[in-house]
Amino acid sequence: MPDINWYPGHMAKTRRLLAEQLKGVDAVVELCDARAPQATRNPDLNYLCRGKARILILNKADLADDAVTSQWLAHYREMGLSPIRFNATGARTRDVLSAIEAACAPAIERMKAKGVNKTARLMVIGIPNVGKSTFINRIFGRAIAQAGDRPGVTRSNQWVKVGPYLELLDTPGMLWPRLSDQGDARILAYLGSIRDEILDSEGLAVDLIKLLYGLAPEAVCQRFRIAPEDIDPPEPEYDGAWHETPTVLDRVCAGRGWLLSGGRPDIARAAALVLDEFRAGLIGKISIQRPGDQAVDEAPVPVLQSELDEKPAMKRRAPKPAGPGSRPRGRRPSR
């Protein structure tokens, strides 16, 4: 499968806007996907938010393995963060509001000493399709921020007044310019954080179903009506003509009866099924990343986008070669 990269122009604009607006907020609420917390945390945001109190929300925890999520919570606490397990579609908000109160307490106390009741202002950040708008709607108590199950729904910043002294800033999802770790890039694609239109969906679905089979074989076979030997179907025997090597998607089509004219399997439909049902949690509570899979580096990283923002340095024009009869540059000769 070809390398995966997706960094549309509006993300570069979003980064510049976030860098400016971060100066006016008291704390940051960062959302990641509980099924793969490391892959769904933008290292560029980690750098931008340095010096700000931060609350880390492991969202969509209802779709992840509970035991693995507990490991991630312990891992991030050891790193000095304040992680919270959360389900934006039905969880209680008490823990989040308590964390917000603690994160903003120093700024509020400073203003209270001056006789001012300060409004706590927090920025909600994360990669695309991690559930930022749904999270804000849950905290607010009803739908106020536009949300969707695909990346790129939120395209501009929006302040939401949650209470008399609490405001949340909903921001567009932002990736980083170069997805150098293609393993993490595939995870982002599995989770729907990268537009399906730019991906090889069939190859992606084959890789995903193999990954899920390694984690939950019984659930995968039952959900897609396949047998263990269907994960890697054997090559067809040569009978005088060449035939395409079947994939597990051929077996998914056979199990569902999805055939086109001429008995051809509807591979595109099967690929969409595998991706959609994993993203919706219909296969089961599965985490596809665990602490220790790769080291999580919390150290500040270079401003990745700065390479794109900086204007190229002006090049000094080389002097023209001297022609016949010309005099060298310098002081005018005395008469």
pLDDT in tens, 6-34: 887 888 888 888 889 999 999 999 999 99
Query: What would the mean pLDDT of 111-130 be, rounded to a whole number?
Result: 90
On whether the CB atoms of residues 140 and 132 are closer than 8 A, the answer is: no
Quote the pLDDT of residue 296: 44
Percent residues over pLDDT 90 in the chain: 49
Mean pLDDT of all residues in 292-313: 45
Considering Cα of 68, then 190, then 54, then 293, what sign does the dihedral take? positive
Q: Sorting pLDDT into bands at 50, 70 and 90, what band is 152?
A: very low
Above pLDDT 70, what percent of the chain?
79
End-to-end CA distance of the chain: 76
Note if the pTM is more than 0.85: no
What order of strands is seen across the sheet that includes strand 27-33?
83-85, 53-59, 27-33, 120-125, 166-170, 158-163
**DSSP H helical ranges for 124-179:** 132-140
Domains of the chain: 9-178 (3.40.50.300), 200-279 (1.10.1580)
Residue 293, pLDDT above cutoff 50: yes
